[in-house]
Amino acid sequence: MYQTTFTPLSCYSVMKIRFACGLLFNCCLLLNSCSAQQKKSPAKIGPTMEMPGKNNPVYSRTDSNRVNLSEEEWKKILPADVFYIAREKGTERPWSSSIEHSTEVGTYYCKACGNPLFKSDTKFESGCGWPSFFDPIKKGSLLYLRDRSHGMDRTEVQCGRCKAHLGHVFEDGPPPTGLRYCINGVILDFEKSSPKK
Ligand SMILES: [Zn+2]
């Protein structure tokens, strides 16, 4: 009896919270883009149609050597939306990535350098608005940094090879790790696993 009344109410509450969060985020985005316009042209945020690694000499899915480029060099080789997330620690709009609900089987790579980051079998639906994973391919695939920006105390996650900003990790994920890696879809390249013969 409690179940039937609780479920629609909680769904409605979640929708209201999502709507409010969306509005708040849009306002923040608007404020950010307004202040950015005073300094420089804002980078466009949106899906990129570029092929993986196109015009990017450091992109490799097998080379694990660290990549160390200047911001100017990154700007020349990354699409604007990837540069905004990777190098300017940007955040894509919640629920804007088609990857968030993808259930395809394969591997997710860093779009800036090709480093393998996550396998699809560690991906889960968190409902937070961004693609979520509970474990990286290897602990060394990522770097962890304390992020106290925006009045919050969070752990930022960067690519272990090129130091691209990926997103954040939170301790409210599912078993077995209990972690939720909340990652911008723009910085992920996906390759489907080839079917087993
Ligand atoms: Zn990378």
Question: Where does residue 125 rank: exposed (0-12), middle (13-18), buried (19+ CB within 10 A)?
Answer: exposed
pTM: 0.74
Could you confirm whether 182 is annotated as catalytic?
yes
| pLDDT, average across residues 9-25 | 45
- Separation of CA 86 and ligand 1 centre (Å): 8
Query: What gap in Å lies between CA 18 and CA 12, rounded to an integer?
Result: 10
CA 142 to ligand 1 center in whole angstroms: 9
Set 110, 159, 162, 182: catalytic member: 182
**Cβ atoms of 171 and 154 closer than 8 Å:** no
Of 15-24, 29-38, 143-152, give the lowest mean pLDDT range. Answer: 29-38
CA–centroid distance, 115 to ligand 1, in Å, is 5
**38 CA from centroid of ligand 1 (Å):** 30
3-15 residue pLDDT tens: 443 444 343 444 4
* Distance between Cα 24 and ligand 1 center (Å): 30
Distance 148 CA to ligand 1 centre (A): 22
Which amino acid is located at 52 in the chain? Answer: P
Q: What is the pLDDT of residues 25-71, one digit of tens each?
A: 543 343 333 333 333 344 444 444 456 677 899 999 999 999 999 99
Q: Are 124 and 176 in contact (CB under 8 A)?
A: no
Note the pLDDT tens digit of each residue in 59-118. Answer: 999 999 999 999 999 999 999 999 999 999 999 999 999 999 999 999 999 999 999 999
Instruction: Return the bridge partners of 140, or none.
Output: none
